[in-house]
């Protein structure tokens, strides 16, 4: 019988991890639920080392497809349609082939008696832990309608942030690409003509000019090495980003790039505020919310910061006190979190701050 590794939270939000023999992940989730534990992660033992992380790639469902799916799910459930018919309709209407296949498999699992969250959890490449856990909260608490509505709000905010940042950074990316193309054209075609022109004067050229001509001669003579170097560098960077250390390096670099680093810090803090507030308001313990948000935040460096928060909170520290010692949390997010803890309105204060950062991000992008 296969062995599964699991992570879960008890009623107090304490992290409980271990391994369990079971026929499948559904049995593990069912056994943990019977023990009063909320599963947050279940995977076959040895899976993480059977596929080298260096070559592992993940593909996710498009956010706009998930928004449409979740909105339809909410409308059908609110109208009182039974679950089998809901899943059939969602699969039938989906234009995303991967999403349609996943929904068909989910429908089969649910018809066999599987829980809704467990069935969705079998497709982590499409439905992340945040999505699955929100379904689990709605399913076990009898508030699935509210959970689906909250998921729609979360996904819409995520989509807005992502598209706004991508649109705003597209122009600088184009400028950088065009700049390097112009430099390459000058080195290959323009500078050799000037070199031939100055050679007729038989005068000694300044050192910077001689260096530029030498670079041009090298590139013109060994252009295939130059192109091979660019191709190798591109592949190397992409592969490096898929490793644990490389991922951390590039995620840390995002915070340090001039101008864009400040934007990224605002975006990541806004996402943190939105997600924690939504999950905490849904009834999840703070430790569980932090655990889930940490793994879905999309930045390994910030994830380590959140894991540090979780450890401090589990030891009795307040959330705001722990945030003060973490460099990537903004001062405003830390201060409003402290106010929320003192007044018993943590979710409201974090959501308010996140909305303020949404407006700040929009203002920054408009002024670029």
Give CA–CA dist 135/117, Å, rounded.
Answer: 5
Give CA–CA dist 174/230, Å, rounded.
Answer: 18
Residue 142 phi, psi dihedral angles, 5° rounding: 70, 25
Q: What is the DSSP string of 88-144?
A: HHHHHH---HHHHHHHHHHHHHHHTT--HHHHHTT-TTTS-HHHHHHHHHHHHHT-H
Q: What is the DSSP string of 37-72?
A: -EEEEEEETTHHHHS-GGG-------HHHHHHHHHH
Q: What is the pLDDT of residue 350?
A: 93
Q: Is 328 helix (H, G, I), strand (E, B) or coil?
A: coil
CATH number of 260-367: 1.20.81.30
Give the angle subtended at the CA of 225 by the CAs of 223 and 231, to the nearest 5°.
Answer: 105
Give CA–CA dist 99/123, Å, rounded.
Answer: 9
Q: Which CATH superfamily is domain 63-152 in?
A: Type II secretion system (T2SS), domain F (1.20.81.30)
B/e letters for 24-34, b = 16+ CB within 10 Å, e = fewer, are bbbbbbbbbbe
Q: What is the pLDDT of residue 7?
A: 76
Give CA–CA dist 292/294, Å, rounded.
Answer: 5
Q: What is the pLDDT of residue 61?
A: 47
Give the angle subtended at the CA of 194 by the CAs of 191 and 200, to the nearest 5°.
Answer: 145
Give the end-to-end CA distance of the chain in Å, rounded to a whole number: 58
In order along its 368 residues, the chain shows pLDDT tens digits of: 678 888 776 666 566 788 888 877 767 777 877 787 767 677 777 543 333 333 333 334 478 888 999 999 999 999 999 999 999 999 988 888 888 899 999 999 999 988 898 999 889 888 888 888 888 888 888 888 988 998 898 888 888 877 877 777 777 778 888 888 888 888 777 887 777 776 666 667 778 777 888 888 887 777 788 788 888 988 888 888 878 888 888 899 989 988 788 888 999 999 899 989 988 888 888 888 898 888 888 888 999 999 999 999 988 889 999 999 999 999 999 999 999 999 999 999 999 999 999 888 888 876 66
Same fold, 63-152 and 260-367: yes
Give CA–CA dist 235/251, Å, rounded.
Answer: 18
Partnered with residue 17 across adjacent β-strands are: 7
Q: What is the pLDDT of residue 13?
A: 59
Q: What is the pLDDT of residue 331?
A: 94
Q: Where are the domains of the chain?
A: 3-50, 63-152, 160-233, 260-367
Give CA separation, 60 vs 55, 71, 72, 149, in Å: 16, 18, 19, 21
Q: What is the pLDDT of residue 49?
A: 34
């Amino acid at each position: 019988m296969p062995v599964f590794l699991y992570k879960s939270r008890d009623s107090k939000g304490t992290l409980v991890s271990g391994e369990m023999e079971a026929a499948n992940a559904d049995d593990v989730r069912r056994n943990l639920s019977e023990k009063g534990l909320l599963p947050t992660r279940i995977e076959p033992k040895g899976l993480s080392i059977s596929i080298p992380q260096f070559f592992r790639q993940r593909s996710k469902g498009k956010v706009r497809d998930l928004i449409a799916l979740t909105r339809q799910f909410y409308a059908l459930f609110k109208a009182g349609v039974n679950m089998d018919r809901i899943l059939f309709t969602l699969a039938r209407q989906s234009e995303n082939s991967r999403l349609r296949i996943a929904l068909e498999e989910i429908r089969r699992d649910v018809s066999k008696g599987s829980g809704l969250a467990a069935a969705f959890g079998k497709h982590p490449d499409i439905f992340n832990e945040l999505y699955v856990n929100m379904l689990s909260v709605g399913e076990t608490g009898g508030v699935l309608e509210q959970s689906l509505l909250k998921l729609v709000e979360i996904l819409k905010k995520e989509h807005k942030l992502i598209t706004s940042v991508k649109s705003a950074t597209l122009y600088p990316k184009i400028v950088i690409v065009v700049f390097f193309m112009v430099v390459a054209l000058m080195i290959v075609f323009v500078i050799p003509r000037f070199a031939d022109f100055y050679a007729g004067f038989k005068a000694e050229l300044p050192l910077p000019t001689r260096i530029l001509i030498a670079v041009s001669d090298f590139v013109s003579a060994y252009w295939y090495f130059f192109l091979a170097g660019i191709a190798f560098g591109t592949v190397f960077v992409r592969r490096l980003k898929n490793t644990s250390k490389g991922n951390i390096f590039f995620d840390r670099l995002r915070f340090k790039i001039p101008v864009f680093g400040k934007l990224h810090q605002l975006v990541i803090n806004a996402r943190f505020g939105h997600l924690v507030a939504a999950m905490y308001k849904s009834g999840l313990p703070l430790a569980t919310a932090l655990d889930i948000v940490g793994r879905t935040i999309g930045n390994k460096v910030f994830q380590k910061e959140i894991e540090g928060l979780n450890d401090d909170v589990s030891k009795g520290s307040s959330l705001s006190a722990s945030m003060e010692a973490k460099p990537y949390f903004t001062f405003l997010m830390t201060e409003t979190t402290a106010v929320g803890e003192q007044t018993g309105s943590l979710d409201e204060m974090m959501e308010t701050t996140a909305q303020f950062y949404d407006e700040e991000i929009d203002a920054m992008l408009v002024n670029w």
